[in-house]
Amino acid sequence: MNSNDAKLIAECLTGRSEAFGELVCRYQNRLYNSVYRMLNDHEDALDVTQDAFLNAYHSLNSFKGDSEFFTWLYRIAFNAAVSLKRKKKLSYSLNWGSDEFSNFEPVDESYGVAPDASIEKNEEEMKVQSLINQLSNDHRAVLVLKDIEGYKYEVIADILDIPIGTVRSRLNRARLELRSIFEKQEENQK
């Protein structure tokens, strides 16, 4: 485990809660970005990220230190994200025909870039995110962690609490499924 994280965790366990705030500052953006890729919803990603930190804080004494702190934290967040997606899927299926998911408006964080480039980049990102959203939760999680976040297989296995072989298998299937979805979409546009 990262020695800085270990020190902050030890301080937090001895009563210095500000130490946990430092961990939050260190990992909140990375965690939010990963969760956002899973959920494709800003508010839900913020909620899951906040809940993950709260759960981690309350469960900090059960953290064994066998893995990196962020791995443990990401596992908490991904489990929460998957649970939320299941709840939303059930809610959406009960409210079929609802337009609540079609109002996604991405935030354009580019500055000083030509308007056309920014629009094209946003359109491409939305297309890729739309394709990723069509994957199953298991495939989406592995694909986001490996291909977007750039984690190693070992870290992904720790985060998702699955064997490395399963990570490789799911990643391969996710990429094949993503390619198939893309090809079908391209065919339909012709």
Residues 117 and 72 in one domain: no
Q: What is the CATH number of the domain that holds 146?
A: 1.10.10.10
**Which of the 8 DSSP states describes residue 48?**
H
Structural domain range at position 58: 1-97
- 86 and 11 in a common domain: yes
Whether residue 91 sits in one domain with residue 9? yes
**CA torsion angle 137 43 37 5 (round to 10):** -100
Domain count, the chain: 2
| C-alpha distances in Å from residue 115, one per residue of 108, 125, 175 | 11, 15, 31
Give, for all 190 residues of the chain, the pLDDT tens digit: 678 888 999 999 998 889 999 999 999 999 999 898 888 889 999 999 999 999 999 999 888 888 889 889 988 998 888 888 777 665 444 444 444 444 444 454 544 445 555 566 667 777 777 888 888 888 888 988 888 888 889 888 888 889 999 999 999 999 998 888 888 888 887 7
152 and 180 assigned to the same domain: yes
Mark whether 62 and 139 lie in a shared domain: no
Phi/psi region, residue 98 (left: phi>0; alpha: psi -120 to 50; beta: rest), is: beta
The last residue of a domain, from among 33, 62, 97: 97
Whether residue 149 sits in one domain with residue 72: no
Last residue of a domain, one of 97, 127, 147: 97
Select from 38, 68, 97 the last residue of a domain: 97
What pTM, to 2 d.p., does this model score? 0.61
